[in-house]
Amino acid sequence: MSCRNEIQTFSETRADAQAAADQAIAEVHRLERLWSRYRPDSIVSRINEAAGRGPVVVDEETAGLLDYAATAWRESAGLFDITSGVFRRIWNFSSGRIPDAEVVRACLPLVGWDKVVWQRPEIHLPAPGMEIDFGGLGKEYAADRAAGVLSGLGCIALVNLGGDIVASAPRPGDQPWLIGIRNPQATPGIFGKLPLYSGALATSGDYERCIVADGRRYGHILDPHSGWPVPGGPASVSVLAANCLLAGTLATVAMLRGGEAKNWLDSIEAVSHVVWT
């Protein structure tokens, strides 16, 4: 997953804990093999390689995530878009340079879930160069699945995949897990801890990957409608929800809503949030 991952679990013995963790880790590896765009044998790579040529038949699990992506795109008015990964071809956040506006405009015809032909179980990217990317979904889904494996084995566990966190149950004694929220203006550092009894916490922020040019900060979370970062948005958003897939989606969309992030999250029932501006 190209990030630091950890599992904490309470079991009867250390051997039981290790055996359970091994099964959860195997589940994460399975999903990485299935969906990583870095693996040429993944279904995502096969879909992208077929862009402009023809449809690809996908398995039921991938179809479920594509259905979710379609719903997230529709409910977010197009802000959550798994076709927007093509922007990484022109935005290099380690270079310290912003791309030319014309180069960004030239990339826009390759972006837009509405251009994708998705008819279960077939998906077709009609234009050569289009691609999908589960970067905003796969890790969150994997965290949920790993926690589900541990819960099914009777373990009290916390799964942390690069900051996407799922608690299967409270700690023994009905005690919460205490999750540190990073202060985006201090490295390292946290500005507080959130109690998590069960459910998930996901954070989206632009403080680690950004470009500062002419006194302006350009974060790596890009508006799929324009190909540019949203001005005036928060530095980070953390969302508590029933599962990590939902929490991650809401955190990303909130970042893309810019200055409206907090008010928008306030309007959503059954979730809690921390917005750092």
pLDDT, tens digit (0-9, with 9 covering 90-100), for 65-102:
999 999 999 999 999 999 999 998 998 877 778 889 99
pTM above 0.75, yes or no: yes
Q: Which residues contact 261 (CB under 8 A, 6 or more apart)?
A: 233, 234, 237, 254, 255, 275
Higher pLDDT, 268 or 182: 268
* Count of Cβ atoms closer than 10 Å to residue 201 Cβ: 27
User: Do the bridges between strand 199-205 and strand 210-213 make them parallel or antiparallel, or are there none, so unpaired?
Assistant: unpaired
> CATH top-level class for 176-276?
alpha beta
Residue 194's pLDDT band (boundaries 50, 70, 90)? confident
The C-alpha atoms of residue 102 and residue 129 are separated, in whole angstroms, by 17
Residue 236's pLDDT band (boundaries 50, 70, 90)? confident
Task: List the chain domain ranges.
Answer: 38-132, 176-276
Higher pLDDT, 3 or 72: 72
Query: Would you state the torsion angle of the CA atoms of residues 225, 244, 148, 160, taken in this order, to the nearest 10 degrees?
Result: 110
pLDDT, tens digit (0-9, with 9 covering 90-100), for 114-151:
999 999 999 999 999 999 999 889 999 999 999 999 99
Residue 186's pLDDT band (boundaries 50, 70, 90)? low
Q: Give the C-alpha distances (Å, rounded to integers) separating 270 from 112, 178, 250.
A: 29, 20, 12
To 5 degrees, how large is the angle CA 20–CA 140–CA 206? 130
pLDDT, tens digit (0-9, with 9 covering 90-100), for 155-169:
999 999 999 999 999
Topology of domain 38-132 in CATH is: T-fold (1.10.3980)
pLDDT (0 to 100) of residue 119:
97
The C-alpha atoms of residue 242 and residue 144 are separated, in whole angstroms, by 10
